[in-house]
């Protein structure tokens, strides 16, 4: 990889296992490929449009299977009928896993304060980061993802090992 | 050639008292029929060659709560040859309203009647597969009824944030 030449005479780099693992997790966080409503369009724009290009953060890959994904971006309103499906997808994801509630509807129900919509996806899955906006711009979603990365970097070895 | 005028006159002549009213409003004609004769009227409109209303465009309903009978079921039918638009309307009431299914006349009514059953709780007798179509199968109540509670959660402001937060069912791991 050319890393040996660049390192020169440094020899060995030392860091804690905690830092190494957290760094690895932030660098290859794969979101699950699903969208529930209009926020999904902005999510697609954030992930694959060239002007935003999430692959800069190791996230260009959306996995269609929950078994291969680490991050669930709940993009859009969750109906009462959809809620068990979302929860099942979350349960099928392997540990470690994180959830971003993208947009007002996923965060708190948004403008849909009625019988059919779950008032915040945190009623069915534990949420790490809330992204405000209706819908949030791709930059806002990327900011949310980077906020999550900061959170992951602070995770303690004692909590997951 | 048939016109809407001739159609409504033909219905009046054939069904007499079963036709409760014929209303025209802004070019739309509505035939109000007693609930027990709806299927017969629709069958006549569809099968008679001179009338030829062969396309069922929509079946829908609305709730006139607290008027009784409160539910008005509307069949929107169309003669594609002329072309003509006609609305056939019937009123049903009570806590468990019942109406004969018109799937034997218009097979396309199947899912529409399921939606009415789901949203208004109107039971269509003779329907081949009457179950909920939009809401989850274990849902209680019928959301489009006027006496169904609309809101779900009080809006959080700074003064009541904690009170609502306490009641909110957060997910466990």
**Pairwise CB contact (< 8 Å): A126 & B171:** yes
**Pairwise CB contact (< 8 Å): A115 & B150:** yes
Flag whether pLDDT at B130 surpasses 80: yes
Domains detected in chain B: 4-167 (3.30.460.80)
Q: Can you give the pLDDT at residue B71?
A: 93
**Pairwise CB contact (< 8 Å): B148 & A122:** no
Chain B contact present for A141, CB below 8 A: no
In the block, tokens 């954030």 appear at: A46
User: What whole-number percentage of chain B has pLDDT above 90?
Assistant: 49
Q: Can you give the pLDDT at residue B169?
A: 81
Q: CA of B173, closest CA in chain A: separation in Å?
A: 6
Chain B contact present for A117, CB below 8 A: yes
Question: Tens of pLDDT along A55-81?
Answer: 888 787 888 999 999 999 999 999 989
pTM recorded for the entire structure: 0.79
| Model confidence band, residue B43 (pLDDT cutoffs 50, 70, 90) | very high
Residue B47: other Cβ atoms inside 10 A: 12
Residue of B nearest to A91 (CA): B173
A-B CB pairs within 8 A amount to 43
**Chain B residues closer than 8 Å to A120 by CB:** 168
Judge contact between A129 and A73, C-beta under 8 A. no
d(CA A98, CA A69): 10
CA R_g for chain B: 21
Flag whether pLDDT at B139 surpasses 90: no
**Pairwise CB contact (< 8 Å): B169 & A116:** no
Q: Can you give the pLDDT at residue B127?
A: 92
Burial class (CB in 10 A: 0-12, 13-18, 19+), B26: exposed
d(CA B70, CA A122): 39
On whether ipTM exceeds 0.85, the answer is no
What is the average pLDDT across A21-46? 89
Chain B contact present for A79, CB below 8 A: no
């Amino acid at each position: 990889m050319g890393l040996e030449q660049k390192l020169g005479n440094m020899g060995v780099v030392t860091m804690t296992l905690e830092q190494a693992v957290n760094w690895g997790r932030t660098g290859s966080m794969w979101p699950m490929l699903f969208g529930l409503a209009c926020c999904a369009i902005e999510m697609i724009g954030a992930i694959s449009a060239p002007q935003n290009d999430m692959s800069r953060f190791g996230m260009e890959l959306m996995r269609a299977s929950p078994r291969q994904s680490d991050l669930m971006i709940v993009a859009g309103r969750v109906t009462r009928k959809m809620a068990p499906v979302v929860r099942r997808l979350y349960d099928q994801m392997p540990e470690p896993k994180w959830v971003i509630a993208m947009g007002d509807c996923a965060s708190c129900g948004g403008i849909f304060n009625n019988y059919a919509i779950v008032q915040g996806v945190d009623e069915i899955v534990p949420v790490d980061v809330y992204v405000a906006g209706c819908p949030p711009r791709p930059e806002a979603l990327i900011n949310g993802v980077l906020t999550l990365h900061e959170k992951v970097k602070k995770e303690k070895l004692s909590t997951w090992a | 050639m048939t016109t809407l005028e001739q159609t409504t006159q033909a219905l009046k002549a054939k069904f007499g008292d079963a036709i409760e009213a014929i209303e025209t409003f802004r070019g739309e004609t509505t035939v109000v029929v007693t609930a027990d004769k709806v299927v017969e009227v629709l069958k006549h409109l569809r099968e008679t060659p001179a009338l030829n209303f062969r396309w069922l465009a929509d079946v829908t309903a609305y709730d006139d709560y607290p008027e009784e009978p409160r539910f008005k079921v509307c069949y929107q039918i169309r003669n594609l040859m002329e072309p003509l638009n006609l609305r056939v309307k019937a009123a049903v009431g009570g806590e468990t309203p019942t109406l004969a299914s018109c799937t034997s006349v218009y097979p396309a009514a199947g899912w529409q009647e399921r939606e009415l059953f789901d949203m208004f709780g109107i039971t269509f007798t003779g329907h081949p597969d009457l179950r909920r179509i939009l809401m989850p199968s274990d849902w209680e109540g019928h959301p489009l009824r006027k006496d169904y509670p609309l809101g779900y959660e009080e809006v959080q402001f700074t003064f009541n944030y904690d009170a609502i937060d306490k009641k909110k069912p957060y997910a466990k791991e």
